[in-house]
Amino acid sequence: MDAPSNSEPASTPGVCLPASLEQARVQSLPSSAFYIPDFISEEEQRVILDKIANAPKPRWKQLTHRRLQTWPSDLVKNALIDAPLPQWLEEPVVSRLLSMPLLPTKRGANIFSASPHHRPNHVLINEYPPGVGIMPHKDGAAYHPVVCTVSLGASLCLNLFKTKEDGTLDSNPAWRILQEPRSLLITAADLYTDYLHGIADTEKDEDLSPDTIANWDLLRSKEDFESGSYQRQTRTSLTYRDVLKVSKLGSKLGMFMKR
């Protein structure tokens, strides 16, 4: 297996965090993409998947071909009702996100240092069965322009798209990022605001090579993809973001209910 260079192992076996995010930068993309293949351990992945599977049924929102969960709640008019994330979504992910400095020389600055709440406050859980993807889209203005995605269970290709000069979408991806299970992908700044991202509706990701996959050099298990294709399995993603507007209505209602 290949490990990212200049990395410092975390105290948890199977976890390997870079000394700074600069060492996890995807060099072939605009300067705001980072990839860490061993962000969580196999045991942590198992625990999180169990928590997702055992969530109360009302937590699941069923779409046409896939389903999702939203924590701590859905947004209302682009605002989040103030509430904490459950502990199993906080640890170990949030503490690790906040522990990694952007640069070796800036030990106090992490990827959320410039966000309003200095940490993620919202998690979207998406389940992607084989053959199911999502159309190219932008995440919108409700969030600070940092997206941290932890992949669980299986690998999958994320496609990034440019908009043509006439405003229409270029149907060919500008870049492709391969997300392995237990990995973390961070996209921010211009990759968030200027590009669309999507997942193809396919049973198999093909044409996989160092020339076609932007983060190939950072992959943990290149040998799994050296045949040039990967048969998809069910992949679950945790998307961590900081919602800009937070309403205190939830806490006020809680105080009222206790009276």
**Phi and psi torsions of 231, nearest 5°:** -75, 115
DSSP H/E element including 43: helix 42-53
Spatial distance between the Cα atoms of 71 and 58, rounded to a whole number of angstroms: 12
Residue-wise pLDDT for 166-221, tens only, equals 878 788 899 999 999 999 999 998 888 888 889 999 999 999 999 999 999 999 99
Q: Which amino acid is at 254?
A: G
Spatial distance between the Cα atoms of 94 and 229, rounded to a whole number of angstroms: 32
- Decide: residue 220, CB within 10 A, 0-12 exposed, 13-18 middle, 19+ buried: buried
CB atoms within 10 A of CB 49: 15
Residue-wise pLDDT for 39-96, tens only, equals 999 999 999 999 999 999 999 999 988 999 999 999 999 999 999 999 999 999 999 9
**Residue of higher predicted confidence among 94 and 12:** 94
pLDDT band at 109; cut points 50, 70, 90: very high
**Which whole number is the average pLDDT over 83-112?**
93
Residue-wise pLDDT for 212-246, tens only, equals 999 999 999 999 999 999 999 999 999 999 999 99
Cα 20 to its chain centre, rounded Å, is 18
Residue in this structure with the two tokens 């993603």, named with its chain if needed: 237
Q: Are 67 and 60 in contact (CB under 8 A)?
A: yes
pLDDT of residue 1: 41
pLDDT of residue 45: 98
Which has the minimum average pLDDT: 1-5, 158-162, 188-192? 1-5
User: CA–CA distance from 201 to each of 33, 228, 245 (Å)?
Assistant: 24, 18, 33
Contacts 24+ apart (CB under 8 A), 22-28: 22/102, 22/103, 22/104, 24/218, 26/177, 26/214, 26/215, 26/218, 27/217, 28/175, 28/214, 28/215
CA quadruple 248, 252, 254, 255: dihedral sign: positive
Q: Which amino acid is at 59?
A: R
DSSP state of 233: -
Q: What percent of the chain has pLDDT over 90?
A: 75
pLDDT band at 7; cut points 50, 70, 90: low
**Residue of higher predicted confidence among 133 and 52:** 52
Q: Are 230 and 204 in contact (CB under 8 A)?
A: yes
- Decide: residue 217, CB within 10 A, 0-12 exposed, 13-18 middle, 19+ buried: middle
Closest CA to 196 of 246, 139, 234: 139
CA quadruple 71, 74, 75, 79: dihedral sign: negative
Task: Specify the pTM.
Answer: 0.90
Which has the minimum average pLDDT: 7-21, 54-68, 87-101, 141-155? 7-21
Spatial distance between the Cα atoms of 24 and 36, rounded to a whole number of angstroms: 6
